[in-house]
Amino acid sequence: MAFQAKQIFVNLPVKDLKKSIAFFTEIGFEFNTQMTDENATSMIISENIYVMLLVEEFFKSFTNKAIGDTTEQAEVIVALSAGSREEVDEVVNKALAAGAGHYNDPVDHGFMYTRSFKDLDGHLWEVFIMEEMPPAEG
């Protein structure tokens, strides 16, 4: 039987937790206050998906590897599906207005539309809508 996780927690290092919370609040995310202190917070993406924003020093306590320099390196692209093209635009426009950096031009494949941004710490985020693909003919 294949392993199937019940939840996913993506852990990202941040320089300033309060600024990161304010930034993601501006975009429209909420946080689990029971999992928030001066070192970390749990940002709620959906019922079973969370992003743990961890102050860099606290993040380092979980690994012996160096934290990547996001101005030069990409460690991950967090891709979030939206419900419509309008929602894709709304989320990315809010992120840009809240201080996000531009990352990639919008991409429209017809069946899939995506926009991207860099958060305050340089982590890459992609928001997309993908229409249901027709069944393959065989």
- In this prediction, residue 138 has a pLDDT band, given cuts at 50, 70 and 90, of low
Domain ranges of the chain: 7-61, 68-133
The pTM (predicted TM-score) of the whole model is 0.89
Q: Dihedrals φ, ψ of 58, to 5°?
A: -70, -40
Residue 134 pLDDT greater than 70, yes or no: no
How much is the pLDDT for 132?
73
CB 120 within 8 A of CB 111: no
- d(CA 77, CA 131) in angstroms, rounded, equals 21
The whole-number pLDDT of residue 47 equals: 94
Q: How far is residue 96 from each of residues 9, 36, 87, 101, 138, measured CA to CA in Å?
A: 24, 25, 14, 6, 44
Place of tokens 């934290």: 67
CATH topology match: 7-61 vs 68-133: yes
- Tell which CATH architecture fits domain 7-61: Roll (3.10)
CATH superfamily of 68-133: 2,3-Dihydroxybiphenyl 1,2-Dioxygenase, domain 1 (3.10.180.10)
